[in-house]
Amino acid sequence: DVQMTQSPSYLAASPGESVSISCKASKSISTYLAWYQEKPGKANKLLIYSGSTLQSGTPSRFSGSGSGTDFTLTIRSLEPEDFTVYYCQHYNEYPPTFGGGTKLELK
């Protein structure tokens, strides 16, 4: 199985700042990568697929980049509602696997 490693596991920032979250695959996955946002008590939300394509409804302050084994989720001008947990997931091959998550906390 392809192992997905996210870093950092925890990240502290302030509203208005920009942050980046890394996701590394154990082998090349082309651009078959999705990013999700998790909020307590709510359904997980797909933010980005195909490495960089924003899902309908995802604010433009979110962006995704990368290909092969190295990917990045960048959030510009953090809003209060962005402080939560983010996961990456590959779907290059069976089975799809997820990263361990990154918790974005308020500094």
Partner 1 sequence: EVQLVESGGGLVQPGRSMKLSCAASGFTFSDYYMAWVRQAPKKGLEWVASISYEGSSTYYGDSVKGRFTISRDNAKSTLYLQMNSLRSEDTATYYCARHPLLPTTDWYFDFWGPGTMVTVSS
Binding site for partner 1 (CB under 8 A): 32, 34, 36, 41-46, 49, 55, 87, 89, 91, 94-101
Q: How far is the CB of 41 from partner 1 (least distance, A)?
A: 7
**DSSP class of 52:** T
Cα 41 to its chain centre, rounded Å, is: 19
Shortest distance, CB of residue 20 to partner 1, whole angstroms?
A: 20
Looking at beta carbons only, is 11 or 46 nearer to partner 1?
Answer: 46
In angstroms, rounded to a whole number, what is the distance separating the alpha carbons of residues 75 and 82? 8
Q: How far is the CB of 10 from partner 1 (least distance, A)?
A: 14
Amino acid at the residue 72: T
Cα diameter, the chain: 39
